[in-house]
Chains A and B, each alone.
Chain A
């Protein structure tokens, strides 16, 4: 009887133990990294390059609550500006700022169309994306692709040293990961700096007003601030970040391409959703960070699915969709299961109580 009770209790406990779930998840992550090491660090570098797109989408969709698709145009423009300037001999580090500026101008145009012509945000950003395609081509000198072979990017100065360091310490076998490691280190630095600055900005007077404006523009107007200005500012900031991400991606790939931005908005949204669902952020800083991490999680887990199932790269879209779907569906199912389980326990207690009462009456 007692052993039966104990085993029942354990069984009831096991599936909902948050600790066990965390252990399991950690094991899976570490295991995944060990098994697919090469794939993982490649995806990690890419996730870092794209992570600012997640932050960008977070600013428009979540802070401003403005459905802005301009990212699809700002990202390739940022990349194109970066590549064109590098070819001209501009410092690679400096091109990041120009890419941010180019993205910001793209966002500014969307904002102005929305504010002045009262066009819906979704529409005005589609108009801008359409036009931005041509601008990207122009920036790239009417070519659809600019290779950066042999040019100095923000990554190249460290690649040689990294290679020799790896060979020295870990043997020749590790040599092939050297570029990936450089990407991870450099992009992590860039992303951390950007996120720190952004977080600081969100806590300034301007940043606070911007957040308030997205939540309730009536309040902002009631306290003497033109909420349109906040919209303009947020769109510039958001798309500037996308432009910056575009320049990171271009330097990672080693080429710029007009089609680089295609469907990038979906990745940004996926990153925001994944970050929210998996990390459950509270403060604004946590939200910004989880949008960035969401992108990394997305890229890495997608790479694992590819590696595990040995799929051809042409399947990428379907895998992306399934990864996002899984990440959204599983926590939801867990929550529902918990709810159901709680109700069942309560019901059982009630029944037990009634039995006790009946026994007493007898």
Chain B
């Protein structure tokens, strides 16, 4: 359902600050995949999401979503099929609007905007149940300004907003990093449940190796703008937590060595 063909993203090209965040990355995501993505800080994981969503332009390569070339489509057009939770908990919700208003904005995905009421009474029960499912007590605070919530609470609401209209592709960027262990576990369970229930294709970035192994059907490790390895089915089954840690370690020491080699 999603193909990336030799996608490159470079920031600040031609300046001393040039960063080649994605370097000819190729990836083929199948319908119904639940992919976990791991990789060191700065590996380009978030940039991969931004390229797919259209938040950053790509220099080279093509992005094909549902058989359609979307490489040059603006972000707001692609987003009809894409639900996203951002790494930064503050990016996914609108401060100054209440929880109910935020959910109402999310409920307008793909709808024609008109002069009907923006907050609809018929959605009240739906919103209540959605918030109840994350068990943070937010169902009783629907009219609270989102700016007054904690980062974790906002992130949980972002997940609801991203999934409630059942997008085809769901991209989660460390969406449990800001949550306490209980809420984090709950949200992961919820993510898996929603993915199954709605038949979503999910790509989930995580720094937790346990999580990467525990959920999904495919693991991708990224490094320096490349896919280092891509394990699915049987290969993934045989991959243990320690294998993964080992690979992660070797990748980092390897880099250090090569850096030193270059510098000396």
Which chain A residues have a beta carbon within 8 Å of chain B's beta carbons?
A: 201, 203-209, 211-212, 215-216, 218-227
Docked-complex contact A209 and B113, CB < 8 angstroms: yes
A203 vs B161: C-alpha distance in the bound complex, in angstroms? 20
- In the complex, the chain B residue whose C-beta lies closest to that of A211 is B97
CA–CA, A206 and B76, complex, Å: 16
11 intermolecular pairs with C-beta atoms under 8 Å apart? A205-B118, A206-B113, A207-B118, A208-B101, A209-B108, A212-B105, A215-B96, A218-B92, A222-B53, A224-B110, A225-B76
Once the chains are docked, how many angstroms separate the CA of A216 from the CA of B101?
13
Tell me if B104 counts as interface (CB < 8 A to partner A): yes
In angstroms, how far is the closest chain A Cβ from the Cβ of B150? 17
Taken residue by residue from 93 to 111, chain B's Cβ proximity to chain A (1 for < 8 Å, 0 otherwise) reads as 1111100011011101111
Contact A216 B93 (CB under 8 A): yes
Asked whether, in the complex, the Cβ of A203 is within 8 Å of the Cβ of B109, the reply is no
Indicate if B59 sits at the interface (CB-CB under 8 A).
Answer: no
- Whether A208 pairs with B118 at a CB distance below 8 angstroms is yes
Nearest opposing residue in chain A for B95, CB measure: A215
Would B97 and A205 count as touching, CB distance under 8 A? no
> Are B94 and A215 in contact, with the CB atoms below 8 A?
yes
A208-B104, A211-B97, A219-B105 given; A224·B77 CB < 8 A: yes
- Interface residues in B158-204 (C-beta closer than 8 Å to A): 161-162
- Enumerate chain B interface residues (CB-CB to A < 8 A): 53, 55, 74-77, 79-80, 82, 84, 86, 91-97, 101-102, 104-106, 108-111, 113-119, 161-162
> What are the residues of chain A within 8 A of B93 when measuring CB–CB?
216, 219
A203 vs B104: C-alpha distance when bound (angstroms): 11
Q: In the assembled complex, which residues on chain B have CB atoms less than 8 Å from the CB atom of A226?
A: 74, 76
Bound: A223/B93 CA distance, A: 11
In whole angstroms, how far apart are the Cα atoms of A204 and B117 in the complex? 4
Given A204-B115, A204-B117, A209-B113: A221 in contact with B96 (beta carbons within 8 A): no
B123 nearest CB across to chain A (Å): 12
The CA of A360 and the CA of B79, in the complex, are separated in Å by: 70
CA distance A225 to B79 in the complex (A): 9
Residue of B93, B118, B161 with highest tally of chain A CB at under 10 A: B118
Would B76 and A204 count as touching, CB distance under 8 A? no
Provide the bound-state CA to CA distance between A215 and B91, in Å: 10
Residues in A whose Cβ lies below 8 Å from that of B94: 211-212, 215-216, 219
A204, A209, A218, A223: which has the most chain B beta carbons within 10 Å? A223
List the B residue with the shortest CB-CB distance to A201: B115
Select which of B86, B110, B114 is within 8 A of A205 by beta carbon: B114
Q: Which B residues lie within 8 Å of A203 (CB)?
A: 117-119
Given the complex, which residues of B lie within 8 Å of A222, measured CB to CB? Answer: 53, 75, 79, 82, 84, 92, 162
Q: Which 3 A-B pairs have the closest CB atoms?
A: A208-B118, A215-B94, A223-B109
Q: Are B76 and A224 in contact (CB under 8 A)?
A: yes
Q: Besides A205-B113, A215-B94, A224-B77, 8 other CB < 8 A contacts?
A: A205-B111, A206-B114, A208-B97, A211-B97, A221-B75, A224-B76, A226-B74, A226-B76
